Amino acid sequence: QPRAVEHLLRLGGLTVNLDEHRVTADGREITLTYKEFELLYFLMNNKSIVMTREQLLEKVWGYDYEGESRTVDVHVKTLRRKLELAGCPECIFTVRGAGYKFGE
């Protein structure tokens, strides 16, 4: 049976393969947790759009935001670190008072 067309998202040297659940930066694989992968895919799929913590919690974690939660901040921090080590510095930006976005 032939495989279905791969679902690829490419921005610069960064590639997310949804079918294989793989992320590469300039051909080098980046090991991500499930939530880091989902967060990266969602942000890349909405490039340059500022996403609030509440939106990210709802879309990536699948629940409504209630109370104070630093889950998104912790995941963004570790994801940034992994992307920087792979040669993709400053891919995820903090928009002060609003949220996060992928891209310039």
Question: If you average pLDDT over residues 30-51, what whole number do you get?
Answer: 94
DSSP conformation letters of 48-99: T--B-HHHHIIIII-S---S---HHHHHHHHHHHHHHHTT-TT-EEEETTTE
Residue with tokens 């792979």: 86
46 contacts: CB under 8 Å, gap ≥ 6: 101, 102
Q: Note the pLDDT tens digit of each residue in 53-93.
A: 989 998 998 876 565 578 899 999 999 999 988 888 788 99
Global confidence as pTM: 0.86
